[in-house]
Amino acid sequence: MILRFAHGTPECEVQALRSLLEERGLACVRSPEERRPILAVIGQLDARTRGELERHARIEERLEPRLGLDLVERAFRERPSVVAVGGGRSATVRVGGDEVVVIAGPCSVESRAQVRETAAAVAQAGAHILRGGAFKPRTSPHAFQGLGVEGLRQLKQAGEAHGLPVVSEIMDAADVPAFVAAGIDCLQVGARNMQNFTLLKAVARTGLPVVLKRGLAATVDEWLSAAEYLAGSCPVILCERGIRTFERATRNTLDLTVLPLLREWTHLPILVDPAHASGIARIIPPLSRAAIAAGADGVAVEVHPRPAEALSDGPQALLPAELTRLVADARVMAAVTGRGLHESPSAVRAPA
Amino acid sequence: MILRFAHGTPECEVQALRSLLEERGLACVRSPEERRPILAVIGQLDARTRGELERHARIEERLEPRLGLDLVERAFRERPSVVAVGGGRSATVRVGGDEVVVIAGPCSVESRAQVRETAAAVAQAGAHILRGGAFKPRTSPHAFQGLGVEGLRQLKQAGEAHGLPVVSEIMDAADVPAFVAAGIDCLQVGARNMQNFTLLKAVARTGLPVVLKRGLAATVDEWLSAAEYLAGSCPVILCERGIRTFERATRNTLDLTVLPLLREWTHLPILVDPAHASGIARIIPPLSRAAIAAGADGVAVEVHPRPAEALSDGPQALLPAELTRLVADARVMAAVTGRGLHESPSAVRAPA
Amino acid sequence: MILRFAHGTPECEVQALRSLLEERGLACVRSPEERRPILAVIGQLDARTRGELERHARIEERLEPRLGLDLVERAFRERPSVVAVGGGRSATVRVGGDEVVVIAGPCSVESRAQVRETAAAVAQAGAHILRGGAFKPRTSPHAFQGLGVEGLRQLKQAGEAHGLPVVSEIMDAADVPAFVAAGIDCLQVGARNMQNFTLLKAVARTGLPVVLKRGLAATVDEWLSAAEYLAGSCPVILCERGIRTFERATRNTLDLTVLPLLREWTHLPILVDPAHASGIARIIPPLSRAAIAAGADGVAVEVHPRPAEALSDGPQALLPAELTRLVADARVMAAVTGRGLHESPSAVRAPA
Amino acid sequence: MILRFAHGTPECEVQALRSLLEERGLACVRSPEERRPILAVIGQLDARTRGELERHARIEERLEPRLGLDLVERAFRERPSVVAVGGGRSATVRVGGDEVVVIAGPCSVESRAQVRETAAAVAQAGAHILRGGAFKPRTSPHAFQGLGVEGLRQLKQAGEAHGLPVVSEIMDAADVPAFVAAGIDCLQVGARNMQNFTLLKAVARTGLPVVLKRGLAATVDEWLSAAEYLAGSCPVILCERGIRTFERATRNTLDLTVLPLLREWTHLPILVDPAHASGIARIIPPLSRAAIAAGADGVAVEVHPRPAEALSDGPQALLPAELTRLVADARVMAAVTGRGLHESPSAVRAPA
């Protein structure tokens, strides 16, 4: 249950109620950055407690979320939540809210030179966050599995060289310390692991922002439930990446139809990854435009200086020049849908 | 096989070859509106004919379409085809090419007053073609089945009153004469009938433009094959309307992912119907924007002056004011994707 | 609403109520072959009528079917319905009830010799109904479309020569007279036409038994709704033939999971066509066994004396010897699920 | 590449070749229990090695598996593989081969009393392996998550009391030691974790038999690829449990269509779980019959003494009496498909 207090409720009264509820075995989570106090009370309320909450003078609204997911559903926040990614020697990029972001980078970190060259292209194109895989989930055990910890380090260095925060996929709870040690700014949980609850719990404990991709056959309700595993402990960004359908012309079918509904149901930012949905580089630009037109907070794409040489997913990688045009497109689409494009970290650093 | 002749090939040489091929039992279809002659030769070519075509001095290119669909695949045309809808006492609206169109109207024609009021709203909003169902495909035999021929007449009158050409769904080959007699400008073949080959053949014989909706579980290849049934005899407009997937939050999932591929594979214009895909009126505007951003030639939506009173599909009908905003949005999206919005028929008539 | 009268209710009282209801504009359909009178009342009942029915002394039960489909849902019948196919110079085969049937024949009737040879093999194998396509629904307009009326005649003659009733797919309402004239015993409506409501209505008027295949993406509820279009006028047999899923190893996925639920929801007989689901002849025998084990009333398969020469669907055609084994398997599976195999028409005729 | 040596090839020659290949960086896995030596060589072979293998006098066949999965595809074995589960104080149950098995138990271990009572029912019904969840994958973080390690202990004790080996789902690589310490006989990897490659690798290292469930949207090829992650280190049993489709009448659609193909493509045993596919207890018996008729090596079902009180998945749990009938059905279906039912462990122990 979500409790929305009256504006101006003294903090001590909120804390008093919270203590009372926690003594009764109910977990409480405070909604951040809200002007008036909002509290999620998780667990089964007995009749006495329910009655007390109904009579509480300072509580204006008591909301039961549609799916019972107190932390990710809209009731918990009055405005969409904004997730800050980065900081330190890299820019801080705000995902969600009024601005649109572009995440770009290689599918896999393949070598120091490759990720450096790609990071430079990402920065120059005006994109905002550098992505790159160091641990790769591969369908076959005999395929290239990524550079591991060394890949994380190379990614972070390449990001810092251009002021770009970095995001990378984590597949194993045991790797959490390595991601933290390497200074990865944002952890990605991939589609295959969306319901790997062990991983979700481990990732949440870092407190780092997490990009949660939608599973290939996950309903929106299951996706939001998975996000609820994270949302009490870390900021969450959703990422639609295509669902599995009967159509064989494209690898997957990008589900933009649910985007406007997700906006109503959750306060979390929503990205779209058109590359994994389609698997075909040349259709990524129109799909990116469509995603932002449908209301996405940004897009995540793959870029490679020489796609034909990529060790994984080359056919869906953009060339640097294509990325530059895609960022320009995103700026236009953001503008005509009443938003702006996030200021590029490299632009921020330009005077330095 | 598609034969592309050299620019400036004398017409008599094209005709001579055509006669020769037809004598040998091969059907030939001439690509319309092309600067140089292009001929589709349908049927199995024997070795002698194949050799003669390869040696023919005037033929520059011999193309085998990917799916063997000579008339709808890209090889048959050098530029996207443009389909003219309307004329006579209504405007002529060109679908495909550089301009984007909006088709709007009630799900069902319910009464003379309702369709008149709706047509006025459609014209005022700046939309281009009036749609309305007179014969309704209903899952249950006990549901409202439409006004039939009387509905066609009311639709046409309402369209003419505002200079709007009209489109209506035909479900039965036996109804073709009624549609023609009523002056319906464009016939729609619905998703359930996409592979009703009897209907396709009957509709094609009218020569009228046809909107061919994609079947709920039709692959792109099957959809184009169904279009090939029509394409030799009448102009065809494709319409994506959502495919059936596991996701239950929306009625169907709009497949915008295939849109850019369709552009490469076929010269036919492509509309998107976001209303039937989603089933929810309030998410139609962002989906319409996304469709045009992905490259659609237009959108088809439902509008009703009082959706709550609609006899069918009320929950997905826009209000007139919402349609006006949707047309404005379409203008912006067309502009930023390098196209324009078709001039509104009512604007054309305004001075009169 | 379904009205179940007390056993022994005098017929005049049933007729009196029926007349009353029909005067009020409600359609009434009498459930056939039931020991006590059962009446479906179709349409919206007003409060007065509803009250009268509730107080009626002879009515024991008033049932509202789950989907509002009065004629096909279980409430309309106390026992599963049995559909008689054939008669005249061919055997009468009862589909549904305690016995399992096997329908077999070529995908397409290709020539008099081919269908004769196949019919002989079908009879010898102990199968019960001869199938064969004369009008073929083909995805591409350039593919073999069937022999038409001549194919119907050849099919019927081949069936009569072996005492086998025949079933053939009809695609066009305009062909109904030809099917009737040719003496086709049972009409099949294919998956693509499951919601071709025009065709359903025309087929129903013949009064002949109809096999209604499930659409490729039709839910069970839609399938039953389509059956309701037929059920007032003709006997209906359902046929599951695979649904479209993401799995690409097989052409479609046979949905046996719904079979036991269908048994609860409808009284109609249910066949399974494992050939179109899989598209691969060698997996048809185990799928046929599974279908009967799951409760199917029979299976429909394709057989061809020389599959490699078949003009359509050769890869899914069984050899005559394989059909013989399949019928033997069906006998065993029927026995262990508490049923029998229908006596073969050719066995019936053997002494003659 | 799979190398099949001539019968009677001296072991020293096999080992000599193996050493040579391993020196060149290629992994080799020996096919167990085969009469003639069979060796899988994993990795990219250079031209010289390839040439040497082609000229090797003792190698009769060199096979390239369809998917490049050397260990799970049929080429690696001449007969289907049989996986032994259990031993010690419990019976050893052989899965695969000529006999059919039934796995049964509660969805969740809820208490010592509940699992004991259920184990007694499982044994009495003649089923072979006891299943029970101690760590539960729950869509929502607020749902019952299982008893954890204590649940494993209770499961094992209940199994031993009746001579039943036990299987339980593992969700976290970190829990491997706890499963081993508790003496769990067979580890289950659930549908959500089918591509949790970290978990697969950790589980494989135990050498214990593993039941690998198919992911909700996993193709057969992806499923076999996941099995390849395990197959070098531990015995693997596949388990089909329903795929996600558009049909909403059942929770999932059991994919029995691929079963006969899987038989051709892999030597691994294949179970079917009809409970999770359907979610409805009363349709589990016919689906179990269908699964065995289609060729499954056994079925896995849920049983609970009082389903209405179950903490999870009560609606799909069988009553003990229903399980008894299901085992009897399985015996009949096994017999008519040319197999037997595995001898029940409790029968084995009966004299003791």
Please tell me the predicted confidence (pLDDT) of residue D350.
42
3-state class of B99 per DSSP? strand
What is the distance between the alpha carbons of residues A258 and B135, in angstroms, rounded to a whole number? 30
Task: Determine whether the interchain pair C295/D286 forms a contact, defined as Cβ–Cβ distance below 8 Å.
Answer: yes
Orientation angle between helical segments A320-336 and B320-336, nearest 10 degrees = 150
What is the distance between the alpha carbons of residues A230 and A199, in angstroms, rounded to a whole number? 10
The letter for the amino acid at C231 is A
Please tell me the predicted confidence (pLDDT) of residue C82.
95
Q: How far is C192 from chain A (nearest CA, A)?
A: 16
pLDDT greater at residue A130 or residue D276: A130
What are the pLDDT digits (tens) for C3-54? 999 999 999 999 999 999 999 999 999 998 778 999 999 988 999 999 999 9
Report the residue of chain D nearest C338, measured CA to CA: D329
Q: Which chains touch D (3 or more CB pairs under 8 A)?
A: A, B, C
Q: Residue D42: which of A68, A142, A217 has the nearest Cβ?
A: A142
Residue D116 has pLDDT above 90, yes or no: yes
Question: Is B247 within 8 Å of chain A by CB?
Answer: yes
Q: How far is B125 from chain A (nearest CA, A)?
A: 20
Please tell me the predicted confidence (pLDDT) of residue D211.
98
Question: Is B173 within 8 Å of chain C by CB?
Answer: yes
Q: In chain D, which residues have their Cβ closer than 8 Å to the Cβ of B245? A: 246
Confidence of residue A323 (pLDDT cuts 50, 70, 90): very high
Task: Determine whether the interchain pair A228/D173 forms a contact, defined as Cβ–Cβ distance below 8 Å.
Answer: no
Contact C196, C220 (CB under 8 A): no
Q: In chain C, which residues have their Cβ closer than 8 Å to the Cβ of B222? A: 139
What is the distance between the alpha carbons of residues B344 and B122, in angstroms, rounded to a whole number? 10
Please tell me the predicted confidence (pLDDT) of residue B351.
38
What is the distance between the alpha carbons of residues B90 and B103, in angstroms, rounded to a whole number? 14
Which domains can be identified in chain B, with CATH numbers? 2-64 (3.30.70.1140), 83-349 (3.20.20.70)
Task: Determine whether the interchain pair D248/B248 forms a contact, defined as Cβ–Cβ distance below 8 Å.
Answer: yes
DSSP D276-335: HHH--GGGHHHHHHHHHHTT-SEEEEEB-SSGGG-SS-GGGPBPHHHHHHHHHHHHHHHH
Which stretches within chain B are classed as H helix? 11-23, 47-55, 112-125, 149-161, 176-181, 197-204, 220-231, 259-265, 274-278, 284-293, 320-336, 345-349
Please tell me the predicted confidence (pLDDT) of residue D344.
79
Among residues C205, C243, C247, C207, which one has the least CA distance to residue C223? C243
Confidence of residue A308 (pLDDT cuts 50, 70, 90): confident
Q: How far is B311 from chain C (nearest CA, A)?
A: 15
Question: Is B59 within 8 Å of chain A by CB?
Answer: no
Confidence of residue C347 (pLDDT cuts 50, 70, 90): low
Task: Determine whether the interchain pair C142/B228 forms a contact, defined as Cβ–Cβ distance below 8 Å.
Answer: yes
Phi-psi region of C70 (alpha: psi -120 to 50; beta: other; left: phi over 0): alpha
Cross-strand pairs, A54: none
Q: Which chains touch C (3 or more CB pairs under 8 A)?
A: A, B, D
Question: Is A246 within 8 Å of chain C by CB?
Answer: yes
Residue A53 has pLDDT above 70, yes or no: yes
Residue C352 has pLDDT above 50, yes or no: no
Report the residue of chain C nearest A245, measured CA to CA: C246
Average pLDDT over residues D221-234: 95
The letter for the amino acid at A30 is R
Q: How far is A313 from chain C (nearest CA, A)?
A: 21
- H/E segment holding residue C239: strand C236-240
What is the distance between the alpha carbons of residues D122 and D302, in angstroms, rounded to a whole number? 10
Question: Is C257 within 8 Å of chain A by CB?
Answer: no
Question: Is A244 within 8 Å of chain C by CB?
Answer: yes
Task: Determine whether the interchain pair D225/A174 forms a contact, defined as Cβ–Cβ distance below 8 Å.
Answer: no
Please tell me the predicted confidence (pLDDT) of residue A352.
35
Report the residue of chain C nearest A250, measured CA to CA: C246
Confidence of residue C136 (pLDDT cuts 50, 70, 90): confident
Question: Is D248 within 8 Å of chain B by CB?
Answer: yes
CB pairs below 8 Å between A and D: how many?
78
Interface test with A, best of C246, C247, C251, C253 (most A CBs within 10 A): C246
Interface test with B, best of D246, D247, D251 (most B CBs within 10 A): D246
Q: How far is C245 from chain A (nearest CA, A)?
A: 5
Question: Is D172 within 8 Å of chain A by CB?
Answer: yes
Task: Determine whether the interchain pair B255/A247 forms a contact, defined as Cβ–Cβ distance below 8 Å.
Answer: yes
Q: Residue D68: which of A140, A193, A198 has the nearest Cβ?
A: A140
Please tell me the predicted confidence (pLDDT) of residue D242.
96
Compute φ and ψ for D305, nearest 5 degrees: -65, -30
What is the distance between the alpha carbons of residues C94 and D192, in angstroms, rounded to a whole number? 46
Orientation angle between helical segments A320-336 and A112-125, nearest 10 degrees = 30
Other CB atoms within 10 Å distance of the CB of residue C324:
18
Report the residue of chain B nearest D244, measured CA to CA: B246
Sign of CA dihedral A265, A270, A273, A274: positive
Confidence of residue D139 (pLDDT cuts 50, 70, 90): confident
What is the distance between the alpha carbons of residues C221 and B111, in angstroms, rounded to a whole number? 30
Interface test with C, best of B1, B41, B136, B139 (most C CBs within 10 A): B139
Task: Determine whether the interchain pair C174/B43 forms a contact, defined as Cβ–Cβ distance below 8 Å.
Answer: no
Task: Determine whether the interchain pair A257/B283 forms a contact, defined as Cβ–Cβ distance below 8 Å.
Answer: yes
Q: How far is A252 from chain C (nearest CA, A)?
A: 10
Question: Is C220 within 8 Å of chain B by CB?
Answer: no
Sign of CA dihedral A294, A299, A305, A309: negative
| Assembly ipTM | 0.92
Query: Which token pair is D349?
Result: 């122990």
Cross-strand pairs, A277: none
Tell me the pLDDT of chain A averaged across its residues. Answer: 92
Question: Is B248 within 8 Å of chain D by CB?
Answer: yes
What is the distance between the alpha carbons of residues C275 and C285, in angstroms, rounded to a whole number? 10
Question: Is C248 within 8 Å of chain A by CB?
Answer: yes
CB pairs below 8 Å between B and D: how many?
8
Confidence of residue D279 (pLDDT cuts 50, 70, 90): confident
Residue A185 has pLDDT above 70, yes or no: yes
For chain B, residues with pLDDT lower than 70 are: 346-352
Average pLDDT over residues C94-120: 95
Task: Determine whether the interchain pair D141/A225 forms a contact, defined as Cβ–Cβ distance below 8 Å.
Answer: yes
Tell me the pLDDT of chain D averaged across its residues. Answer: 92
Task: Determine whether the interchain pair C255/D245 forms a contact, defined as Cβ–Cβ distance below 8 Å.
Answer: yes
Q: In chain C, which residues have their Cβ closer than 8 Å to the Cβ of A244? A: 246
Please tell me the predicted confidence (pLDDT) of residue C129.
97
Question: Is A140 within 8 Å of chain D by CB?
Answer: yes
Chain mean position to CA D147: 23
Confidence of residue C134 (pLDDT cuts 50, 70, 90): very high
Q: In chain D, which residues have their Cβ closer than 8 Å to the Cβ of B251? A: none
Q: In chain B, which residues have their Cβ closer than 8 Å to the Cβ of D248? A: 248
Interface test with D, best of B216, B244, B246, B253 (most D CBs within 10 A): B246
Residue D277 has pLDDT above 90, yes or no: no
Please tell me the predicted confidence (pLDDT) of residue B342.
86
Question: Is B245 within 8 Å of chain D by CB?
Answer: yes
Confidence of residue D118 (pLDDT cuts 50, 70, 90): very high
Q: In chain D, which residues have their Cβ closer than 8 Å to the Cβ of A229? A: 141
Question: Is B142 within 8 Å of chain D by CB?
Answer: no
Please tell me the predicted confidence (pLDDT) of residue B301.
96
